[in-house]
Amino acid sequence: MKPVKVLCIGGSDSSGGAGIQADLKAVTACGCYGLSVITAVTAQNTFGVQDILEIAPEFVARQIDVVLNDIGADAVKTGMLLTAGIVLAVAGKIREHNIEKLVVDPVMLAKGGRNLMLAAARESLVKKLLPLALVVTPNIPEAEKLAGMEIKSVAAMKKAAVIIHKFGMQSVLIKGGHLQSNKQKEVIDVLFNGKNYQEYSSSRIDLADSHGTGCTYASALAAGLALGKDVATAAGLAKKLVTSAIINSVDLGAGHGSVDALAGKINHLAASCGELTLVTRERD
């Protein structure tokens, strides 16, 4: 069987909740096969990112070449890109391999405040990577930085989407989870393709264990695109998957736990394995 493949390019999260670990769970939950290129290794637990080991840009590029030259990918998603060197290496390879279905999650800050993209890398992101994207998925703080404006309402999200869209991506999806004024029961995300807005609304679920939400969302979106859905449909499916991952979040460690895109699906797998007959033989 030939699987539908999604290549996730980003950082490893040793706590298992965000980064590449979240990406692969989300892609798997969507029925696709996940490939991974690591850009950084974080020493991370439920209290946040404690340390970061950067992977050399040349080795990031090498991983991409080796995977795409042999296996290929139906869509690519990028997450943590720490330095300008890494952003440029990734953008160069996306161009070289003619990747059309590219989701860029412009990861900037971890929850505890640790920088996952150095300020000096932001210009390269805007100039070199965002123009190659089919969809860019900022949260509110990221959209504020990219658009250079405060966002306190859905109307402001729409204004920021117009500004960000000018950087050259085909669509921008601003996620409303961080909206300050949004004390009501809804989380509204706004998709803008240069012409039309689409709003996606879900019930707000207030919980402490929400680490990994953004990675899960963008990876599920990439999986939807890989499966041949259009952007608006894939965004709707991704919103559903991330909401289910939030509902099924796990209480880990003594800090913030994580969302889990595969929660509940593992029991299902275990049940189907239970139907297999295992033959065991004694050996001398």
Contact set with ligand PXL (CB under 6 A): 10-11, 13, 18-19, 42, 44, 49, 79-80, 107, 110, 116, 214-215
Measured from the CB atom, the residue of 8 and 194 that comes closer to ligand PXL is: 8
Task: Please state the closest distance from residue 230 (CB atom) to ligand PXL, in A.
Answer: 26
Measured from the CB atom, the residue of 41 and 232 that comes closer to ligand PXL is: 41
Tell me how far apart the terminal alpha carbons of the chain are, to the nearest angstrom.
37
Task: Please state the closest distance from residue 173 (CB atom) to ligand PXL, in A.
Answer: 15
Q: Which residue is nearest to ligand PXL (CB)?
A: 19
Task: Please state the closest distance from residue 91 (CB atom) to ligand PXL, in A.
Answer: 18
Measured from the CB atom, the residue of 162 and 207 that comes closer to ligand PXL is: 207
Measured from the CB atom, the residue of 115 and 180 that comes closer to ligand PXL is: 115
Measured from the CB atom, the residue of 41 and 153 that comes closer to ligand PXL is: 41
Measured from the CB atom, the residue of 8 and 184 that comes closer to ligand PXL is: 8
* Helix or strand holding residue 233 (H, E): helix 231-247
Tokens 């998709």: give the residue: 191
Task: Please state the closest distance from residue 258 (CB atom) to ligand PXL, in A.
Answer: 10
Give the strand order in the sheet containing 48-54. 48-54, 33-45, 5-13, 75-78, 102-104, 135-136, 171-174, 186-192, 197-203
DSSP string for 56-124: PHHHHHHHHHHHHHHT--SEEEE----SHHHHHHHHHHHHHTT--SEEE----B-TTS-BSS-GGGHHH
* 181 closest CA partner among 151, 208, 158, 226: 151
Residues 252, 46 contacting (CB under 8 angstroms): yes
Task: Please state the closest distance from residue 261 (CB atom) to ligand PXL, in A.
Answer: 13
Tokens 């690591």: give the residue: 38
Measured from the CB atom, the residue of 227 and 250 that comes closer to ligand PXL is: 250
Task: Please state the closest distance from residue 193 (CB atom) to ligand PXL, in A.
Answer: 25
Task: Please state the closest distance from residue 228 (CB atom) to ligand PXL, in A.
Answer: 27
* 188 closest CA partner among 178, 175, 197: 175
- In the chain, DSSP assigns E strands to 5-13, 33-45, 48-54, 75-78, 102-104, 135-136, 171-174, 186-192, 197-203
* 136 closest CA partner among 166, 109, 159, 98: 166
